[in-house]
């Protein structure tokens, strides 16, 4: 089982406005929520842990997780409201987010709300703003410290300046979590925010030197590069008609985790010993999965058969 931890919310898309009327299209989202759904659609056993409201929107979040086949037994429900994220896209479909979530349910997770796992998870995945904002961030760090002996730790920094504008805080927090992570997936855009002027490869190698098994740097349509202590593997992006890029990184993350679990790479020894062919296959599948998400609106992550079909056509 993979345990995905973090926020679940609603993205509000607004493409047009006329006078005082601003129409919104509300879609379920949140980076960790998307990763959990993505893993379920890739037919992995996955559970979600996070704070979700008992309000109407929160119930829709839980209902959707259950519909997708995600284990919801570890979720902490509270009367705090559901976070809303206003999404505005540029001409290339790249989203910018404005969050309305101070005091919301996904942030108000305390140590006493941490799940008690009947069996160790193969991976525990954390990331995005719930890895930074308190009290939930402190709780997740406690969970990592408690379970790291038994589970591999996956981390996606997923920097959100509209949640916290202080990049020094993001950088310190990211480096702290990276020291405990076995797998890091990070975009070159995020690295440019927290390590401006630095070569992404240098940042990745520093994390590897500190003990991370695999660091993957994604470059949007230009593909991705994976680093280990002895390997550096790059793959190109896949060309599709881009509708938007919402959820692409989460899709990549889900496919990466699914690929590792499918190959029984479920220990630090196996992760550090991964070979070049396996790593390249993992990257290519993750890039293909992300390309599918980019070809449709919002975080509509692909199912396993879609990824297999896309790969077959691409070859």
Percent of the chain with pLDDT over 90: 84
Within-domain flag for 95: yes
Is 86 inside any structural domain? yes
Token duo for residue 17: 């406005």
Predicted confidence (pLDDT) at residue 3 exceeds the cutoff of 90: yes
Q: Which segment of 18-32, 137-151, 297-311 scores lowest on mean pLDDT?
A: 18-32
pLDDT at 18: 65
- The pLDDT of residue 93 is above 90: no
- CATH number of the domain that residue 133 is part of: 3.40.1190.20
Q: Is the pLDDT of residue 315 over 60?
A: no
Distance between CA atoms of 104 and 240, rounded to whole angstroms? 36
Beta strands across the sheet bearing 224-227 = 46-49, 2-5, 123-127, 152-156, 183-187, 214-218, 224-227, 232-235
Residue reference for tokens 């790479």: 265
- Checking if the pLDDT of 43 tops 60, the result is yes
What average pLDDT score do residues 36-60 get?
98
**Beta bridge partners of residue 15, listed in sequence order:** none
- The conformation of residue 138, written as its DSSP 8-state character, comes to H
- pLDDT of 150 > 90? The answer is yes
pLDDT of the residue at 312? 61
Is the pLDDT at 111 greater than 60? The verdict is yes
Domains: count for the chain: 1
For residue 264, pLDDT beyond 70: yes
pLDDT at residue 118, rounded to an integer:
94
What integer is the mean pLDDT of 70-74?
A: 98
Partners of 95 in the beta sheet?
Answer: 89
Bridging pattern class, strands 84-89 and 95-100: antiparallel
pLDDT of residue 314: 58
The whole-number pLDDT of residue 24 equals 84
Which domain range does residue 257 map to?
2-14+24-314
d(CA 290, CA 313): 15
Antiparallel, parallel or unpaired: β 2-5 and 46-49: parallel
- Give the per-residue pLDDT at 15: 67
**E strand segments, the chain:** 2-5, 9-13, 25-29, 46-49, 51-53, 76-78, 84-89, 95-100, 123-127, 152-156, 183-187, 214-218, 224-227, 232-235
Cα–Cα distance, 177 to 30 (Å, whole number): 19
Average pLDDT over residues 153-161: 96
Binning pLDDT at 50, 70 and 90, where does residue 8 land? very high
Distance CA 232, CA 226 (A): 6
Does some domain include residue 74?
yes
Cα–Cα separations (whole angstroms), residue 273 to 261, 265, 270: 15, 9, 5
pLDDT, the chain, mean: 94
C-alpha–C-alpha distance, residues 86 and 81, integer Å: 16
112 band by pLDDT with thresholds 50, 70 and 90: very high
- Enter the tokens of residue 94: 């790249």
What pLDDT score does 99 carry? Answer: 86
**What is the bridge-based pairing of β-strands 232-235 and 224-227?**
antiparallel
pLDDT of 87 reads 79
Q: pLDDT grade, residue 96 (50/70/90)?
A: confident
| pLDDT reported for residue 61 | 98
CB 129 within 8 A of CB 123: no
pLDDT for 297 beyond 60: yes
- What's the burial of 301, exposed, middle or buried (CB within 10 Å: 0-12/13-18/19+)? buried
- By CB atoms closer than 10 A (0-12, 13-18, 19+), residue 234 is middle
Q: Return d(Cα 47, Cα 53) in angstroms, integer.
A: 17
Segment 224-259, tens digit of pLDDT? 999 999 999 999 999 999 988 889 999 999 999 999
Q: What value does the mean pLDDT take over residues 174-190?
A: 97
Half-sphere exposure of 272 (CA within 13 A, CB side): 12
Q: Could you tell me if residue 19 is inside a domain?
A: no
CA-wise closest residue to 227 among 251, 243, 211: 211
* Sign, Cα dihedral of 9, 34, 271, 185: negative
pLDDT reading at 10 higher than 90: yes
């Amino acid at each position: 089982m993979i345990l995905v931890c973090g926020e679940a919310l609603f993205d509000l898309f607004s493409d047009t406005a006329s006078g005082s009327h601003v129409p919104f299209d509300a879609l379920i989202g949140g980076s960790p929520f998307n990763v959990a759904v993505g893993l379920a659609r890739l037919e992995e056993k996955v559970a979600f842990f996070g704070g979700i409201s008992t309000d109407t929107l929160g119930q829709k979040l839980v209902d959707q997780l259950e519909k997708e086949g995600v284990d919801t037994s570890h979720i902490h429900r509270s009367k705090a409201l559901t976070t809303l994220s206003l999404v505005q896209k540029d001409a290339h479909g790249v989203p910018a987010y404005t969050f309305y979530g101070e005091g919301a349910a996904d942030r108000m997770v305390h140590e006493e709300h941490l799940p008690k796992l009947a069996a160790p998870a193969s991976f525990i995945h954390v990331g995005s703003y719930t890895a930074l904002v308190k009290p939930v961030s402190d709780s997740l760090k406690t969970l990592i410290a408690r379970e790291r002996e038994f589970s591999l730790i996956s981390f996606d920094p997923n920097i959100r300046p509209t949640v916290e504008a202080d990049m020094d805080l993001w950088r310190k927090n990211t480096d702290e979590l990276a020291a405990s992570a076995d797998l890091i997936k990070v975009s070159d855009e995020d690295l440019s925010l927290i390590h401006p002027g630095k070569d992404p490869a240098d940042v990745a190698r520093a994390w590897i030197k500190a003990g991370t098994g695999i660091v993957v740097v994604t470059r949007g349509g230009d593909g991705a590069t994976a680093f280990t202590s002895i390997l550096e593997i790059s793959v190109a992006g896949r060309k599709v008609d881009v509708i938007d890029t919402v959820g692409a990184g989460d899709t990549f993350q889900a496919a990466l985790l699914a690929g590792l679990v499918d190959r029984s790479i479920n220990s630090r020894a196996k992760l550090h010993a991964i070979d070049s062919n396996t790593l390249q296959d993992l990257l290519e599948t993750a890039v293909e999965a992300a390309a599918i998400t980019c070809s449709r609106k919002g975080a509509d992550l692909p199912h396993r058969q879609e990824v297999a079909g896309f790969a077959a056509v691409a070859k």
